[in-house]
Structure 1
């Protein structure tokens, strides 16, 4: 009986901390930064613990994305131009098995931040 209970506990523990599904795919990102809301499509590719890809900017161009995954923590960033000012947006989130990615976004050099939710583009 103890072996059965220990096995069940181990199975539960490994499923509770299982690695999230791959981030590879098309994502729809909803930003709320300093009260300004926007939506942005991104195409991410996860290779092991590395994230690459592109996000569409407000002018319709693609900007390269770089990032990493450490356990259930994910971070990615990209540079963009906004009205002649170079910005870096850095996204930080904790992954779970909900199918969504949610966390915070910081905009430098202005030091403003907000939150975001990313959902698979097919889940709109």
Structure 2
């Protein structure tokens, strides 16, 4: 079974260190333990395939200073901003970018969720 690492940890059994960019492979029992502790998440197969294909592109878009990322991500669609926001929150979680992506989403779909 495979799971996406959500926060860095060292596996107690193998002593292997994992970062947010890694996937953890192990038994269903061990992965369930790590999920409960918040270290990994188990995406659905479809989401996992989409994520594997888009991660390098998203990571590239999120590289650089806050201003560089803002300039490099102008004019995207709702789904792209949602994906960038999710990855930024799971990664560096820079307030300037989180606020920017949220404001871009608000501008694209005003009134939703109110």
Aligning the two structures, in what range does the TM-score lie when normalised by the shorter sequence? under 0.3
Greater Cα radius of gyration, structure 1 or 2: 1
Superposition TM-score, scaled by structure 1 size: 0.23
Task: Choose between structure 1 and 2: higher helix proportion.
Answer: 2
